[in-house]
Structures are given as C-alpha cells and as structure tokens.
Structure 1
C-alpha cells in the first residue's frame, strides 16, 4: 500500500486559487493579504490537513531527521525526566535533537502539542498519552512513514509501537511481599483519574495478589488522590477507619511522598509500606523504603531504539514492549503485622 502523500503548499494554493507565495505570506504573517484571502487560505489548510513547516524559515536543509518530539504529562516528575534522558541518549548518536512539551495530562493540550510537533516536521513523535485522548489524528502521519511511539501508557485510536512497564506484575509482587509479612488488611493509595492505564494495571495486580493470598477485596481500603497533599489526606482517612490497614501499597512516586509524610506526621512507624516507583534517598528513610522499581531510562532507550529502526525502514507489525519492574526490599515492606492486633489500637 502506497503511503498517503502529505498535502503541500502548492496543494493549498491550488485549492484557494492563489499563488504559493500568497499562501506562504498568510501562514508566516510576513506580508500583506486581505482578510478574505486569509480566511480562504486557513479554511483550505484545515480541510486538506496541511502541516506548515515551522522550521523552514530557519532550517533550509535536513528537513525531517533533525528533531524528535516528546509529549509528557508533567515536566516536574523525575520519572519522565529519566524517560527523556534515555531517549536522548539513543537519538543523540543519530544527530537528532529532543524537543519536549507538557500536556499536563489534558487531552486538548496534548492534541495541540502533537499538532505543533507535526507542523515542525519532527522525525519522530513520542507521546505519554493523556487519559481520554484520541490519537486517530496521528494515523495519517504514521501512514506517511513517521514513527509514532507511545510510552508508559497505550494510546487510543491508533495501533503503533508502545513501551510500558510491567505494572500489574510489579504491584502483585509488592502486595505478595506484604502478605508474606502477615498483613491481612492492606490498603491501596492510587492516583487519579482511576481510568489511567498505570492506575488500572497496578490496581489489578493488587487485587490479584489479594485473591492469591486468600484475602477479600475491601473497597474501603482503596483511596485515590492527585498529588502528594491529597495522598497524605487519603492515608489519614484510611488510618482513621474502624478497622484500618496495617500495610499500604502506594501507587506511584507522588502518592508515596504523601503516604510517608502522613505516617511521619502521625508517628506511625508500625505501618508497612511498599511503594511503586523508587525515590531519591529512599534507603535513607527509617526504615528504608521498600519499592517496586521501574526503569524509566530503559523505557526511553527502548522507545528510542524502536523509533530509529522505524526511521531506517522497519515496517514490521507494531509491537508492545514491556519493561520488567523489580522489588527492592529495604525494610518498610518487611515490617510484620502486629500479631493480628488492629493497627492504631
């Protein structure tokens, strides 16, 4: 099947009935044009799906193969910084520059960012999908040969290469560790929204471990939050239950910050904790923090290598690559249950 041809400046000019130079003046805002002409040009651009090359004014050679666009939910999260570092390590050897933008986990903002990167004619587009985002608009660029890679979470509406962590297996291993310590009331502090792929997978692993351990699932032991302050409040609510948990699984690094902050504030050194994602200086806490460690740099490296293979002509079927997690015991997850006595009594 012949890849779809990208609309050109000449196509827009022909559709409007003006010269290519006139279209260029409208798009670059560098010359006179009537309001009516501008309106017709922009309408044709939208109808044809034309992506103006925003770099053409400063880079006249090279075109594609000069930049990689990466959309992440949160530039302040060290996890995504490590992912970006892995990508950069791979693509730098090819002479590619990494450009990043934050979607703030908003589908509309993500769409705008991806369109901006496409307009800049990036060589590769990598996206950590937002909850609720639709990626059907990326079908045409992908069909035209642009590598599109989803990282950390699968996308929606587009079958393409995806690199994720073993979220479900990691959570199952962490909860099994707590069960082995005698815990029978194990809480889960997860991030919002609950539709988030990583949240769903880790929750599934939590429930599977409970079932394998012969323990019932109690929805009262599940709390959700969107930031460390919220997870601290969620932890306080769980500990205030009439029959509170004796152990907690923290759903990600931001959730963990709130959990350990609340436990420290309340002086609760008896609550066992296993955290999903490692934290800087986690081993320096008292006790050290037991974690299910992801490998964000390997996520990035793997995504970068897949993208370069696609650039080099690999047209094999899209793949989903799962990067293993590993349990790092440091003490907090090994705290034993209090011989069946309710925590907090």
Structure 2
C-alpha cells in the first residue's frame, strides 16, 4: 500500500491569485491530475499576510502541498510534515522541489526581440523585487542589454500602477521606444496607457506571460508565454511521487517559455 493510499487523499494548492489567468490554468491542471489519482484538492488564493494561516489550515487537512510562496523566507514550512512543491518562485529555508519557468532566458529573449526591431531605449516595468521571478526577469533583461538598462520602474503591484509608470517613462526627457512588462497584470496597465496616449502603434511592447484576448487587441500583444498547464502537471506529478515514497534530493525543474509574436513587439523604431 502506498503513502497516498494510507492518508486523507487530499492535497493543498495555495496560489497567489486564482483569478489570474496563469494561476487559474495551473489550478485546472493540478485538479485534473489529482482527479485521475482519486485525490481531492483544497485551493485558496494567497497573500503574504495570510500565508502562514493558510499553510496551517492545509497542514491539518492535506497530505501534501503545492505552493506559490508569497514571501521568500519559507522556514515556517518546516512544521508541515508532508511533501511540498513550490511553483513559479523559489523559496528560502525549505527543503522542497521547485517548478519554475525559464524566467531569465524568457526575459532575455523578449529583450533581444525588441533590440532586433531597432530599439535601444527599452523600458523595464517590473513587480515586487523581493520575488525571485521579478529578480530573474530583470536579470534576463539586463543580460540582453549588456547591463545598459533603459528606464526602469519596479515594485508595481497592479495594472493602475503600471499604467502610471508607463506614462512616466514615455514623458521623460529621453522617452522609451519599447517596453518589457514583467507580468500579465503589468502588461494590461501598459496597454491601457498606450491606448490612452494614442501610442499603441508607435511604442513596442512585449509582456511576460499571456492573458485572455491579447491576440484580439490592435495590435495584438506579443508575449513570452509560460506553459502553465505543463507547470501544473509537473507540480502535481512531482508531489504525488513524493507522497508515494520518493525520498530523493530536492529538484528544480525549469519549464521552457515561448515568445509569441502578435504585433506589439514587432513595431520598429
């Protein structure tokens, strides 16, 4: 009899925001994999101030946990006796498998794509710098530019903040001609700002992570797409292997990203 057979046949899935298209796709795939194994999934959105409370709740009810860490330090997870798999971000202080996208390479490819269109003033709009994904994507951007960054704004929390930041980098003394937006929420703010300014056909944009209707806008939004389904499937399969007795060392599994040209990233100087 396996470990899965002996326990509650329930796992916890704690994601940053299950309303985000990326998280929703991860959730759907994890649930499909779990259903095939006869396992239930308890799902919740997570924020930094709720993380320990939600983990404590999962600890009482679940045999394993799939988690997008809201904070880098995850030492409190030592109290969780079941296996843990991190998705999307790395974590400190926890001995667990991690499933992440190729964030550095994806951001570098997006930046090189903009450079190929003739752009040299490429702005970077990023989310919270304490998050490993934000740091990795910024590192990829810098790598492609040879360390010569354009205008940059970090710690953007929502689309409204990204919209304001976009206006600022376009109205400066040496305005950007292209923008790399580090996640799909930021990309939405960038698109709104460009449309408000009437510059959606003059300023190039590549967004990290896809979002619904991105291909139907004018121009369509060029994105670095994460394979959310593969991330969710890999996370679930990895967790079930651990629940079934795999005692091997923690693994980091990187899922490739794909650049999808749709128009906004192909605007030339």
Q: Please tell me the TM-score bracket, short chain as reference.
A: over 0.9
Equivalent-residue separation in structure 1 for 2:53 and 2:211 (angstroms): 32
1:81 is aligned, of 24, 48, 58, to 24
1:135 is aligned, of 51, 58, 74, to 74
Q: Which residue of 2 aligns with 1:156?
A: 92
CA RMSD across the alignment:
1.4
Equivalent-residue separation in structure 1 for 2:240 and 2:169 (angstroms): 47
Q: CA deviation at 1:175?
A: 0.4
Equivalent-residue separation in structure 1 for 2:183 and 2:176 (angstroms): 19
Q: Where do residues 187-336 of structure 1 align in structure 2 (5 Å cutoff)?
A: 187-191=123-127, 193-211=128-146, 216-218=148-150, 221-224=151-154, 225-268=156-199, 269-336=201-268
Equivalent-residue separation in structure 1 for 2:64 and 2:86 (angstroms): 11
Equivalent-residue separation in structure 2 for 1:168 and 1:234 (angstroms): 23
Q: CA deviation at 1:253?
A: 0.4
Equivalent-residue separation in structure 2 for 1:263 and 1:288 (angstroms): 13
TM-score normalised to structure 1 length: 0.74
Q: CA deviation at 1:77?
A: 1.1
Deviations 1:68-107 (A, max 9, x none): 1011111221211111111111111111111112222x1x
Q: Which residue of 2 aligns with 1:35?
A: none
Question: RCO (CA 8 Å, sep 6+): is it higher in 1 or 2?
Answer: 2
Q: CA deviation at 1:187?
A: 0.3
Unmatched 5+ stretches in structure 2:
none
Equivalent-residue separation in structure 2 for 1:148 and 1:262 (angstroms): 40
Equivalent-residue separation in structure 1 for 2:257 and 2:85 (angstroms): 20
Q: Which moved more, 1:279-288 or 1:265-274?
A: 279-288
Q: CA deviation at 1:140?
A: 4.7
Aligned length: 263
Q: CA deviation at 1:138?
A: 2.5
Q: CA deviation at 1:109?
A: 1.2
2:53 is aligned, of 112, 116, 130, to 112
Q: CA deviation at 1:63?
A: 6.9
Task: Please tell me whether Structure 1 or Structure 2 has the larger radius of gyration of its CA atoms.
Answer: 1
Equivalent-residue separation in structure 1 for 2:33 and 2:225 (angstroms): 22
Equivalent-residue separation in structure 2 for 1:103 and 1:287 (angstroms): 33
Equivalent-residue separation in structure 2 for 1:209 and 1:65 (angstroms): 48
